[in-house]
Amino acid sequence: MSEKLLELKNTTIKFGGVTALNEVNFHVNRGEICALIGPNGAGKTTVFNIVTGVYPVTSGDILFKGQSISGKKRHHITKMGLARTFQNVRLFGEMTALENVITATDVHKKTGLLRALIGTPLNRREERESKARAHELLEFMGIDHRADQLAKNLPYGDQRRLEIARALGTEPELVLLDEPAAGFNPAEKVALAETIKKIRDKGYTVLLIEHDMSLIMGISDRVAVLDFGQKIADDVPTVVQNDPRVIEAYLGVPADAS
Amino acid sequence: MSALKNFNLRDKGAEIWAGWNRLTRTVFVSVFVLLIALLPFAPNWGPTSFLNTPITSFQNVLVYPMGMFVLMALGLNIVVGKSGLLDLGYIAFFAIGAYSQAILSTLFGWNTWEILPVGILLAMASGVLLGLPALRLRGDYLAIITLGFGEIVRIVALNITVTGGPNGIAGIPNPPTLFGFQFNLMYPEHFFWLVLVMIMLVIWMVRRFTVRRPGRAWEAIRQDEDVAALMGVNTLVYKLWSFVIGAAVGGFAGVIYASKVMVISPDMFKFDVSILVLACVVFGGIGNIWGVALGATLLAYLPERIRFISDARQVIFGLVLILMMNLRPDGLLPRKKREKIQEKRTM
């Protein structure tokens, strides 16, 4: 059995009276592409938010590489190897594309403020290396020609690609992609699917939220379905597709059945 | 009108700068610094005599308010401009530097050069003390706390004996001679050159930070603090550093200021000075050191230049501010908008 990279154990989160996630048990194996789907408001993005430390869990636990990460600081979790993109693009708009990625690579740097001021050889080498690495990642996402443009001036699709490049800049083991194909045309979606597979083949593990079923069914190794904060299915795509509970959650129950 | 709003001198300048080689740059910077260093003699030379300030001595105006305001504006710019933390009590750090100089010199007989590092460290320590609790808050709440801190420092100075209460401290000694330069009432231009060196040091430091990791971290925090944290920036630590470095610059300026004016009292460190320094930053172009330096120079100089119209000068000053902010809402030299330019420079 493959190693569980990320594991949610009986995770519950409540916002006041609303239970956004209820006793969810869920895991991501190392090296797979796992998809998280569900109707709007099912709690998908909430999963991302509790995993990356944005919200504290109400009860239950989150394990990453076997270690509990609930209650840890956001930058600490990122440093451990977990990075994400955002449903609504949230780049550093006033920075160039390259700087956006370099900012993410900074997480593993040894030199901070004082050595930057003095300009020690190690600091200069780190600055050089992260610049090269950032170019490499932009190249990988196919947007290196945009390196010196301000992020806010990039076309929408390139902004989404830049978000992925920035997430990869933190050298994560697990990448969380929040609706990476939102607003893409069919051709772009096909290209994105290839990119996500390439990301997996490079050794990253991918957990993605997506609404486009053909994209998900094409690339995912496993699909988990959330509905009203409950996990209702978790299996290989073909099985999930035919699960009556999933169909019910998405399409509703026929009137004559009840 | 819109042409005036959109014209970005900063981009033009950066473009020209990028086209120069090392030698041209060195010559340009040297000539520029030399011209500024000659400023104390400007009133004595025909073509530049219009710069002279009536009533107050131009050489003294160059040190305070001009030099000191440039220093403080550069320091505050690290906090407000680089990392986007609104600090309304910045004058407190200046006051702490000034009182360090005043107390340590009059009570313990230390000289200015010995006090300088201590004054800076004390300002930094108070920055940590204020920053640790305050930086957990954001926006308006942070502004209110810093405002309170600025007032606390002044009111404490007003009420305890070691600071001399409302009378302040008199008889603060001038700095001892350094590299053959005497610092006393006879040589205000020496103080100006000292301040000029300090300003260059601060500019060097800020430029270093800006292009490296700390600058990126601050920039990320300023633009979106939550995303910055999720991309691995230790936001509290970097916000604290920007606060502390800003405080250090303020303390630095305060020590020299006290040793120049020889008398300090709490009413020199009122809230309105914090606001004026903030106005310098915004007026010049928040986030851009050249803009901030220019803004502080002009805003500190203008009221002195028009001092002869006495009470009306504050009205004129206010009108100029309103007019400027309407014509150029991003300041005189706005923050970089560069694309491409940076690439050329680093290659």
* CB contact (8 A) between residue A104 and residue B205: no
What pLDDT is stored for residue B163 in this prediction? Answer: 83
DSSP A153: G
Min Cα separation B238/chain A (Å): 9
Mutate to test the interface with A, among B202, B230, B234, B342 (most CBs of A within 10 A): B230
B260 lies in a domain? yes
- pLDDT at position A190 over 60: yes
User: For chain B, how are helix, strand and coil distributed in percent, rounded to 5?
Assistant: 75, 0, 25
Domain ranges in chain A are 1-81+172-258, 87-165
What pLDDT is stored for residue B107 in this prediction? Answer: 87
| Tokens encoding B318 | 């206010």
Partner residues linked to A26 by β-bridges: A8
| Tokens encoding B302 | 């203008």
B214 lies in a domain? yes
One-letter amino acid identity for A18?
A: V
| Cβ-based contacts of B233 with chain A (< 8 Å) | 75, 103, 106-107
Beta strands in chain B (DSSP E): none
Structural contact between residues A200 and A34, judged by C-beta atoms closer than 8 angstroms? no
What pLDDT is stored for residue A115 in this prediction? Answer: 81
The whole-number average pLDDT for the span A229-252 is 85
* CB contact (8 A) between residue A75 and residue B234: yes
| Tokens encoding B242 | 């920007």
Mean pLDDT by 10 residues, chain B (347 residues): 61 78 86 83 73 76 86 92 89 92 89 90 93 86 90 90 83 80 79 90 91 90 91 91 93 91 87 88 86 87 76 80 82 68 42
Percent with pLDDT over 70 in chain A: 97
Min Cα separation A153/chain B (Å): 10
What pLDDT is stored for residue A214 in this prediction? Answer: 85
Q: State how far the Cα of B300 lies from the Cα of B319, in Å rounded to an integer.
A: 15
Size of interface A-B (CB pairs under 8 A): 98
| Cβ-based contacts of A84 with chain B (< 8 Å) | 230
What pLDDT is stored for residue B6 in this prediction? Answer: 61
Q: State how far the Cα of B203 lies from the Cα of B206, in Å rounded to an integer.
A: 5
| Cβ-based contacts of B223 with chain A (< 8 Å) | 92-95
Structural contact between residues B307 and B313, judged by C-beta atoms closer than 8 angstroms? yes
Residue-wise pLDDT for A121-179, tens only, equals 888 888 889 999 999 999 999 898 888 888 888 999 899 999 999 999 999 999 999 99
Q: What pTM does this model have?
A: 0.87
CA A5 to chain CA centroid, Å, is 14
CATH superfamily of domain region A1-81+172-258: P-loop containing nucleotide triphosphate hydrolases (3.40.50.300)
The whole-number average pLDDT for the span A234-253 is 84
**What residues make up the domain containing B262?**
55-270
| Tokens encoding A39 | 């109707």
Residue A112 pLDDT level (bands cut at 50, 70, 90): confident
**From B239, which residue of chain A is nearest by alpha-carbon distance?**
A113
Residue A198 pLDDT level (bands cut at 50, 70, 90): very high
B234 lies in a domain? yes
Structural contact between residues B322 and A127, judged by C-beta atoms closer than 8 angstroms? no
User: For chain A, how are helix, strand and coil distributed in percent, rounded to 5?
Assistant: 45, 25, 30
Hunting for tokens 């001092």 — which residue is that? B307
* ipTM of the complex model: 0.88
Total domains in chain B come to 1
